Amino acid sequence: MQAILQQLSELHPITSVEFFGIFEKLCSTRNTNIDQFLGGKSFIFKYVEFIKENDQLKQFDIGKLQAKYYGFVNLIINSDFDENKIFDGIVELMIKSNYQQTNLMLLDFGIHIIKSIIPKNIDEKYYMDYIYFKYMFDRMQFKKEYYYYDVFNDDELLKKICAAYLNLTDHNKLLYSHVLTPKMYEYLLLQNVKFEDLRYSNGSNLLLFIAERGSIEMLNYLVNVHHYDINYKNDNGADMLKCANPSYRQIHYETSKMMIDEINKLIEKNKESKTIQPKKLSRVEELENEVAKYKEIMNKLKIIVNELN
């Protein structure tokens, strides 16, 4: 890869728009050589690093880059490639953007730095949510795009979120219930939050809000552990299935589909338990009858033994 770039630099200056475009295309063709060259870094970080290695930063006009790269590249240069400063700068850019897609893009740009800072037990798919709650939450609380997960395994962070949740009105406790996890729910119960009594203006309870915008894990937890009524409807007649439908509140189609599938499983399971229950009772009666017959036989044997004596 280095040899190719060297040849390319003889045709176009490495700070030129032409060189950048070819560099980007080369890096997007993923193979072993490209992966080794990038070393886990994004192509945009590697490009700026390549310019530095060739002592061309002073000649580099970042204004020629596409707007989406400008902030991040400027951050790298102003931080003098200090990864801790770059990470802090990424968080600041995320707070200023206040837009999830931009933040996910920044996450990709600085992925090798972020991987070195985020705890190893956290999967990459949770990085943006963790960054939000760990580093952004104090300044922009309860954004609907971000979810807390118990796999973060951070009791201090959980307590901080719960403290903010406790200060919400009852209506907002429902509006921001998407952040709830089983562990958080249990902690808040100890703080006297009466989840079962929470009702929105349209009569929706916590279960309906979780069906609409929460997690499948939380849905199962409420039904299986705390026995929320799966047939509950709000004042408009909307049940879990209605609330999980993307047309109800324009939630993401794939998320909606997974939630609906899970709700249908819970409904089916509930039907099965109702049909199985009478069978269990009849089996108990059968056993009682068998015991009664056994006692009757024993009594008859006692009479025979007494007569023989």
Helix (H) or strand (E) holding 61: none
Residues 6 or more apart whose CB falls under 8 angstroms from that of 18 comprise 11, 12
Q: What is the pLDDT of residue 252?
A: 72
For the chain, the domains span 1-117, 145-279
Nearest to 151 by CA among 126, 128, 176, 188: 126
Q: Given pLDDT bands bounded at 50, 70 and 90, which one contains residue 287?
A: low
Q: Given pLDDT bands bounded at 50, 70 and 90, which one contains residue 239?
A: very high
What pTM value is reported for the model? 0.80
Residues 6 or more apart whose CB falls under 8 angstroms from that of 214 comprise 177, 178, 180
Q: What is the pLDDT of residue 302?
A: 73
Q: Given pLDDT bands bounded at 50, 70 and 90, which one contains residue 144?
A: confident
Residues 6 or more apart whose CB falls under 8 angstroms from that of 227 comprise none
Q: What is the pLDDT of residue 285?
A: 64
Nearest to 2 by CA among 69, 44, 49, 42: 49
Tell me the HSE value of 19 on the side-chain side, using a 13 A CA sphere. 19
**pLDDT higher than 90, residue 271:** no
Q: What is the pLDDT of residue 308?
A: 65
Angle between helices 216-224 and 182-190 (to 10 degrees): 50
Please give the Cα distance from 138 to 211 (Å, whole number): 27
Q: Given pLDDT bands bounded at 50, 70 and 90, which one contains residue 276?
A: low
Q: What is the separation of C-alpha 257 from the centre of its chain, rounded to a whole number of angstroms?
A: 16
Q: What is the pLDDT of residue 217?
A: 94
In CATH terms, the fold of domain 145-279 is: 1.25.40
Return the higher-pLDDT residue of 252 and 215.
215
Average the pLDDT over 201-230 and give the result.
Answer: 94
**pLDDT higher than 80, residue 253:** no
* Alpha helices (H) in 167-252, listed in sequence order: 170-175, 182-190, 206-213, 216-224, 240-244, 246-249
The contacts found for 81-90 with CB under 8 angstroms, 24 or more apart, are 81/49, 81/52, 83/113, 83/116, 86/110, 86/113, 87/113, 87/114, 87/117, 90/114
Q: What is the separation of C-alpha 85 from the centre of its chain, rounded to a whole number of angstroms?
A: 27
Residues 6 or more apart whose CB falls under 8 angstroms from that of 30 comprise none
Mean of pLDDT over the chain: 90
Exposure string (b/e) for 9-41, b if CB count within 10 Å is 16 or more? beeeebbbeebbebbeebbeeeeeeeeebbeeb
Q: What is the separation of C-alpha 25 from the centre of its chain, rounded to a whole number of angstroms?
A: 32
Nearest to 161 by CA among 121, 120, 150, 119: 150
Collapse the DSSP code of 67 into the 3-class scheme (helix H, G, I; strand E, B; otherwise coil) and give the result: helix
Collapse the DSSP code of 41 into the 3-class scheme (helix H, G, I; strand E, B; otherwise coil) and give the result: coil
* 83-99 pLDDT per residue, tens: 999 999 999 999 999 88
Return the higher-pLDDT residue of 253 and 196.
196
Residues 6 or more apart whose CB falls under 8 angstroms from that of 140 comprise 95, 98
Please give the Cα distance from 285 to 189 (Å, whole number): 40
